[in-house]
Amino acid sequence: MKLEELFLDTLKDIYFAERQILKALPKMTKAAQEPKLKEGFTALVHIRDEAQDDLSPEPLCDNAEATDGIRTTGRKHPI
């Protein structure tokens, strides 16, 4: 694999992970029991909503294994 291909694959994984985290923020906000954490998640949801109004990029990839692991762990160990 060329260095450029590795870089692009890594960039796609990061982009996918970010999209999945942003998508999960409302659930994370609802599940958070610590007030400061809930407040932080709420602020991130607000920022996400503002950004989505400005940009609507198409996903670079459909899935990333690393993000699947993060989501699975998050379901097993809720905040």
d(C-alpha 44, C-alpha 5), whole Å: 31
CATH code for position 55? 1.20.1260.10
Mean per-residue pLDDT of the chain: 79
Instruction: Give me the domain span that covers residue 33.
Output: 3-76
What angle (nearest 5°) sits at the alpha carbon of residue 40, between those of residues 37 and 65?
85
What amino acid is encoded at 4 in this protein?
E
Per the structure, the count of domains in the chain is 1
Average pLDDT of span 49-59: 65
Q: What is the pLDDT of residue 60?
A: 52
Q: What per-residue confidence (pLDDT) applies to 39?
A: 93
Contact 21, 68 (CB under 8 A): no
pLDDT higher than threshold 80 for residue 37? yes
Q: pLDDT tier at 46 (50, 70, 90 boundaries)?
A: confident
